[in-house]
């Protein structure tokens, strides 16, 4: 038994929508994007998806596991029980252990004593970490680019070449690690043409070792597909732009969908009743609407944002107070016209209730403005949230937001950081184009002039 039974007219409308390629494919793309955003913690998160440690699997995505769990060394001044595991660093540490184990195994031959010593020296070579595609959560700051070279330089100054090489390999600086391993790094640093200051930071600034370009820089840093997997770079706070873009999309699209759903449902009901009932109800409700229209929406949000910390649902409810108004005018006009038709008069003569006449007979033939304006309501809701976040009256920092990202991109110091501009502007443009294509196709497919439903 089917849960939902579609009448032939509705089936033809859906079939027509599928044949309008730009709208149908836009719908599929947007649907996939929304589903992926729901599973954002599995796509963009600093916690690992899975860890295989000493023969046992762990799944830390939604739970706290301290550094002691996997034997990770904490920073100075902390204990392993105080801090959560740094999974990306843990992954790199175990990868380097496997590399060093394989290299020293080849050098030692099949000497049983040497093999036993290597097994004890590299106990984590058989452990693995599986990270998300974007190994950063939207709130995590990364200052690795500014901290790595001083850390390696400190080890070199202390004579700890193995430690310096290990850190370089964990950062995927294989050229530098090879020079540290064979000792040639000291000759390179003594050459003032390659390193005017005689240290690694001077070597990076001179460009003599291209693999070090970009190191020593402070955020925002450019896109990096090699060392830290910042596919769209980082922002001024060192946070991953791709991760914030994904979470910002999830917030924006669900904000727009919830707001549009609430506004269109309320506006459709009130507008339909205005047009059908008329009289005193229409007169009073129109005066209320005129009062609401005269209230400056932005000032209301600014005042409330000054009194309370804005939340997702608070902004939805505030904007819903004004969102429903625009559709009422169109639904009211449609109802005024349709209620004079013969099929409506026939339904009245058979004793149908007002509720049945409005929502069973009239409303299906008044859907043109609703179908037409709903996609643009979604677009307007996305623009509204983005604008509020840009002005600083939207969701509080550090919530990932396209408006906040645009604000950073337009700051004077960041005008030359093009990745900060292209990422949010490109995301919002693509999203709005997809929504508009869907709206145009739905309007064309559900055109009542083709499939009228007079009953």
- Kindly tell me if the per-residue pLDDT of 451 is higher than 80: no
- Kindly tell me if the per-residue pLDDT of 396 is higher than 60: yes
- Kindly tell me if the per-residue pLDDT of 3 is higher than 80: no
Q: Which pLDDT score is estimated for 296?
A: 84
Q: What is the mean pLDDT of residues 213-223?
A: 84
Q: Which pLDDT score is estimated for 454?
A: 45
Q: What is the mean pLDDT of residues 126-152?
A: 92
395/403 Cα distance (integer angstroms): 10
User: Under 8 Å CB-to-CB from 16, ≥6 apart: which residues?
Assistant: 444, 445
Q: Which pLDDT score is estimated for 448?
A: 59
Percent of the chain with pLDDT over 70: 96
Answer whether 118's CB lies under 8 Å from 101's CB.
Answer: yes
pLDDT tens digits, one per residue of 77-116: 889 998 999 999 999 999 999 999 999 888 887 788 888 8
104/181 Cα distance (integer angstroms): 12
Q: Nearest 5 degrees, angle CA 164-CA 168-CA 170?
A: 115
pLDDT tens digits, one per residue of 313-339: 999 998 998 889 989 999 998 888 888
pTM above 0.75, yes or no: yes
Q: Report the candidate in 200, 231, 229, 227 with the shortest Cα–Cα distance to residue 216.
A: 200
Whether a cis peptide bond, with omega within 30° of 0, leads into 398 is yes
Q: Report the candidate in 412, 395, 413 with the shortest Cα–Cα distance to residue 404.
A: 395
Residue 451 CA from chain centroid, whole number: 39
φ, ψ (nearest 5 deg) of residue 416: -90, 0
Paired residues of 239 in beta bridges: 141
DSSP structure string for 361-385:
IIGGGSHHHHHHHHHHHHHHHHHHH
- Kindly tell me if the per-residue pLDDT of 306 is higher than 80: no
Sign of torsion, CA 200 203 208 214?
positive
Q: Which pLDDT score is estimated for 216?
A: 78
Q: What is the mean pLDDT of residues 186-201?
A: 91
387/448 Cα distance (integer angstroms): 35
pLDDT tens digits, one per residue of 258-298: 999 999 999 999 998 998 888 899 999 999 999 988 888 87
Structure token digits, residue 62: 């939604």
Q: Which pLDDT score is estimated for 413?
A: 87
- Kindly tell me if the per-residue pLDDT of 453 is higher than 90: no
Side-by-side strand order, sheet with 128-130: 56-58, 50-53, 128-130
Q: Which pLDDT score is estimated for 4?
A: 47
Answer whether 453's CB lies under 8 Å from 9's CB.
Answer: yes
Residue 268 is given by DSSP the state H
Q: Which pLDDT score is estimated for 304?
A: 80
Provide the mean pLDDT of the chain. Answer: 88
Answer whether 435's CB lies under 8 Å from 378's CB.
Answer: yes
């Amino acid at each position: 038994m089917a849960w939902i039974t579609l009448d032939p007219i509705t089936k033809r409308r859906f079939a027509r929508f599928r044949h309008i390629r730009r709208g149908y494919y836009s719908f599929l793309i947007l649907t996939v994007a929304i589903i992926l955003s729901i599973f954002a913690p599995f796509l963009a998160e600093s916690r690992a998806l899975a860890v295989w440690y000493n023969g046992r699997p762990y799944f830390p995505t939604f739970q706290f596991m301290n550094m002691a769990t996997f034997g990770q060394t904490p920073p100075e001044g902390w204990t392993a029980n105080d801090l959560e595991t740094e999974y990306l660093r843990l992954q790199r540490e175990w990868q380097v252990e496997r590399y060093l184990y394989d290299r020293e195994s080849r050098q030692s031959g099949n000497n049983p004593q040497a093999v036993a010593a290597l097994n004890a020296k590299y106990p984590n070579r058989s452990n693995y970490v599986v990270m998300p595609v974007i190994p950063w959560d939207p709130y995590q700051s990364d200052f690795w680019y500014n901290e790595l070279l001083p850390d390696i330089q400190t080890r070199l100054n202390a004579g700890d070449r193995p430690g310096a090489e290990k850190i370089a390999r964990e950062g995927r600086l294989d050229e530098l690690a090879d020079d540290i391993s064979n000792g040639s790094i000291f000759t390179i640093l003594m050459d003032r043409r390659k390193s005017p200051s005689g240290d690694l930071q001077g070597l990076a600034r001179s460009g003599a070792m291209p693999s070090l370009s970009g190191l020593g820089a402070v955020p925002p840093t450019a896109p990096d597909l090699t060392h830290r997997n910042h596919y769209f770079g980082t922002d001024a706070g060192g946070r991953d732009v791709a991760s914030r873009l994904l979470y910002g999309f999830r917030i924006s699209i669900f904000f727009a969908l919830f707001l549009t759903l609430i506004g269109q449902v309320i506006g459709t009901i009130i507008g339909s009743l205005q047009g059908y009932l008329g009289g005193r109800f229409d007169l009073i409700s129109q005066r209320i609407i005129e009062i609401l229209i005269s209230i400056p929406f932005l000032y209301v949000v600014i005042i409330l944002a000054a009194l309370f910390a804005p939340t997702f649902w608070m902004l939805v409810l505030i904007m819903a107070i004004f969102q429903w108004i625009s559709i009422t005018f169109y639904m009211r006009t449609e109802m005024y016209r349709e209620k004079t038709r013969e099929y409506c008069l026939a339904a009245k003569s058979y004793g149908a209730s007002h509720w049945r006449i409005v929502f069973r007979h009239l409303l299906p033939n008044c859907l043109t403005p609703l179908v037409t304006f709903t996609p643009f309501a979604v677009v307007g809701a996305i623009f509204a949230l983005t604008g509020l976040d840009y002005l600083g009256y939207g969701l509080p920092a550090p919530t990932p937001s396209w408006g906040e990202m645009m604000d950073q991109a337009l700051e004077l110091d960041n005008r030359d950081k093009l990745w900060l501009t292209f990422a949010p502007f490109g995301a919002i443009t693509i999203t709005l184009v997809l929504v508009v294509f869907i709206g145009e196709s739905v309007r064309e497919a559900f055109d009542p002039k083709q499939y009228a439903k007079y009953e």
